[in-house]
Amino acid sequence: MMTQGPTPRTALARLRDWFLTDALPLWAAQGYDHARGGFHEALNFDGTPAAGRSRRVRSQARQIHAFSQSGLRGWHDGAEALAAKGFDYFLARACPDEGARGCAHRLDSEGAVIDERRDLYDQAFLLLASASRWEAAKDERALHLADRTIAFLESELASAHGGWLESDRAELPRRQNPHMHLIEAFLALHRVTGDEKYLALADRIRDLFDRVFYQTEKGVIREFFDEDWRLQDKDQPAEPGHMLEWVWLLRAHDRAHDRAHAKPAAGDSSGVRERLYERAVALGADPGFFGFFDNKAPLTGGVHSAKRLWPQTEGVRAALVLGREREAAALVDNLFMTYLATETPGLWVDEFDAEGCPVSKDTPASILYHIYEAVAEADAVLTMGEAG
């Protein structure tokens, strides 16, 4: 009699267990600088902090979000206290004048601002961290910071052509990527507050998605644009990781409108979600290296490139959103043979080159956010099965 092999849920449970048992405890113990405050930018492969590194402010915000959410889920006893300390540091060091112009771009290892540029991508993660701090602790400072930052975006960075400029220095090209993370943050703020003003901001980005970012005939997300949203290069490669992120975001936007108005604002996006996932697989999944997704994929296909971890975790999340549990499980199994196969449990290899050789010199903290999001989706699937 044949025995049944492992179910997809076995792989998902293994990922969740690794995150709770190995990753969160390690990053809670070693990822925070208790002497000077703030989260370290990276850990060495022996699990010690990569000391002396400057700190991207977006990494601080991502860690605040990941630990806040992990604390809310009861996944680590010290997660909430760490998120609270991190937010105190963030407010004191990264947000001059109580966030009157949002957050700066980079700090040194002592917490001094060394790049005061107001980068749009950074502001998106400030807003996401603020949503999580409000949800976790009802910290009034979080909503105050979020609203001051949004006011700054509207007064200084809003573009007459739609969306917001790259920074207070108005660099080109304009990118879809910061707007993708802004819709994530606005949806999070709407979810935790119920305030319609945040959903209206998300709707503005969904409109940009429909008009500018999503190229219907090719089924891809376009990345780089001139000031008026004209495509800079029609032959620019696709970025499969971003296509996979939008699968989750489109569902989240639909759900937000379902909750608020009993119907999606722009109609059901299920067809677009399926198309984005299928095109990401067709263009960017490398059959020669575990089916992992390339960082960049030419629209003609067939040429594979380096592969960071985060597109793979977004692949897991997108597959689960679409109900493709076996595809998600296959990716997870392959992660444990490659990216997660480190001597120190709880770390990861951030990138493999086009030939499948690891090229990372340490483990960047910023990817904990991507891993958390995949694990949260896996947990939702597992919990639904347990309840059923």
CATH for 267: 1.50.10.10
In a domain, 291, yes or no: yes
Element (H, E) at 348: none
In a domain, 2, yes or no: no
Q: Cβ distance 365 to 374 under 8 Å?
A: no
Give the count of domains, the chain. 1
In a domain, 176, yes or no: yes
The two three-digit tokens of residue 37, written as one number: 């405050």
Around Cβ 302, how many Cβ atoms within 10 Å? 7
In a domain, 86, yes or no: yes
- Cα dihedral sign, 39-45-50-54: negative
In a domain, 13, yes or no: yes
pTM, entire model: 0.97
CA 153 to chain centroid:
20
Element (H, E) at 252: helix 240-261
In a domain, 3, yes or no: no
Strands (E), the chain: 42-43, 55-56, 106-107, 113-115, 174-175, 214-215, 220-221, 224-225, 285-286, 292-293, 307-308, 351-352, 363-364
In a domain, 263, yes or no: yes
Q: Cβ distance 168 to 116 under 8 Å?
A: no
**388 residues of the chain, pLDDT tens digit each:** 334 456 899 999 999 999 999 999 999 999 999 999 999 999 999 999 998 999 999 999 999 999 999 999 999 999 999 999 999 999 999 999 999 999 999 999 999 999 999 999 999 999 999 999 999 999 999 999 999 999 999 999 999 999 999 999 999 999 999 999 999 999 999 999 999 999 999 999 999 999 999 999 999 999 999 999 999 999 999 999 999 999 999 999 999 999 888 777 777 899 999 999 999 999 999 999 999 999 999 999 889 999 999 999 999 999 999 999 999 999 999 999 999 999 999 999 999 999 999 999 999 999 999 999 999 999 999 998 665 4
Q: How far apart are CA 268 and CA 191, in angstroms?
A: 19
Q: Cβ distance 314 to 245 under 8 Å?
A: yes
φ, ψ of residue 98 to 5 degrees: the values are: 55, 35
Q: Which domain holds residue 91?
A: 8-387
The two three-digit tokens of residue 255, written as one number: 């759900």
Around Cβ 56, how many Cβ atoms within 10 Å? 22
In a domain, 1, yes or no: no
